[in-house]
A and B are shown apart, each in its own frame.
Chain A
């Protein structure tokens, strides 16, 4: 009797499952659904799958690389036609990608890339374009002349490299915009503050600051307010704190990624590949400038 009850319950719970036989099946492995960014990514993928008539199987790795490897193995067992993976960690995802390669399942990575294995395409924010956007906005605010500071992220990370490249490309053509200081502050708020304090001591004239992420931007903002000087601050990522600071007019702008768009574009690329169409190795996703 009790066993029957258990089986009935299990069937009920599993009844949530919907398996349609005809269409392509896309397996999606998201790094965590405990972060609104990745929930948006998953929802974007689901919307695109529904529109394109694909079956999407989503799994949540809960930020655990081992759990992610297991769920990718499960998806391969399930016989999905293609995998869309948002890795927890670029190095730890390699065994999962190798397993997919071995099983003949193509892989598309989203947001974070993979350090090894064969990947069809990588879909991620166009950080170069985002840096450029921030640079052009600063040029516009300053009317084409002024002194700027660049707070860099952890050296060697693609985010720091690309955002910096875009920013410097944007201001390069303006001879009257000068970068008076360029310092690393490790994507960290406290370090952003102390580095900015030092720069404020050294530089009598600063008109704008571009930080490679919002944490450093907010740290710099605290230092600037304490000094009583009037300096434009532009950040990157559009975190809740930063968006609030922009709304209140304390920060000039922040660059927002579009996770929903990312999920959507990844699923679209998956379908393209399954249909035998050409998919570029890297698919950039647009960013948006959040300003008041």
Chain B
């Protein structure tokens, strides 16, 4: 009885425990790690991956994948900075970034839903498309941002809390509510669990899918704006490989790649595991060549551990809780 309770606890909070372990180990090794200023640094760094990963969570919950987010970050950032440069209107700049992201996401969604193409292939293609369009639009050169309000999205503070952290917190709260209580959220889980059953029970699977990918694109667009603001310039090669960081955060957060199982709360913990690890390895003066090795090993171990915890229990996979 007691053992089962412990297992249940481990299963539920396993990743949180791993995150705490990593924090404890780094704190022991470095006296600079556990400070308020470093905590703020890490949290602000996590926002970029955190926001993309929130959208990615919904996609993966539905049994899909979105590889285009990194490239969409670059494209929406570039168009956002471009419009800002020509109009000097920060609101237009932000809206452009969000619109571009959502538009690209909707494009992904339509292709995934209607000709029923595999999301891996669709988003692989749109990734190349968005990358190419970014280079065409920017001519391979960065677009500079010179607008105080726009710059504060990535670099400003509200009562001592970095603005992007506030944005990320709002998004996670909204996502939590939508996934837990909203019809759309329940449909996401249902489609991820059994798409055919959803279709047979009269659910408009196509429409939900377009919504899911649009949401992911919107999050990428928002990230593009935050990133452009943080770097006070849109970089033509921004966001390279960010889709993989986002997927890693989602998987570390316990969401199953086959869909239907997981939750948004885990994703933010996953994003923090990656962020804390990067920060800690830099603080500890680990050679850059070893850093990726360490990151890869920790991710692998964490996922293995998670799998082992599930394998020893009696809980059936695929059950929506």
Interfacial residues, chain A to chain B (CB-CB below 8 A): 2-3, 5-7, 9-11, 13-14, 16-19, 30, 33, 55, 57-60, 63-66, 69-71, 73-79, 88-89, 91-92, 94-95
Contacts and interface: CB of A to CB of B under 8 A. Distances in A.
Contact of B278 (A6, A13, A70, A92): A70
B293 interface: yes
B282 A75 contact: yes
A79 B32 contact: yes
A7 B289 CA distance: 21
Nearest to A33: B288
Contacts of A9: 297, 301
Given A3-B305, A7-B25, A63-B237, A95 B285 contact: no
Contact of A92 (B231, B282, B305): B231
B308 interface: yes
19 contacts: A2-B305, A2-B308, A6-B301, A9-B301, A14-B281, A16-B286, A57-B282, A63-B237, A64-B237, A69-B230, A74-B282, A77-B38, A77-B41, A88-B235, A89-B142, A89-B233, A91-B142, A91-B144, A91-B232
B87 interface: no
Interface of B: 17-18, 21-22, 25-26, 29-30, 32-33, 35, 37-38, 41, 44-45, 48, 142, 144, 155, 227, 230-233, 235, 237-238, 240-241, 278-291, 293-294, 297-298, 301-302, 305, 308
Main secondary structure of the interface of A (DSSP, over half): helix
Q: What 10 A-B pairs come out closest when comparing CB atoms?
A: A60-B288, A74-B282, A17-B284, A92-B231, A77-B38, A91-B233, A13-B294, A57-B285, A70-B45, A73-B41
A18 B25 CA distance: 15
A9 B302 CA distance: 12
Contacts of B37: 77
Nearest to A154: B141
A54 to B, nearest CB: 12
B32 A95 contact: no
Nearest to B291: A60
Contacts of A18: 285
B305 A13 contact: no
Q: Pick the most buried of A9, A13, A18, A75: most chain B CB atoms within 10 A of its CB.
A: A13
Nearest to A68: B231
Nearest to B38: A77
Given A13-B294, A16-B290, A95 B29 contact: no
B29 A14 contact: yes
Contact of B45 (A7, A13, A73): A73
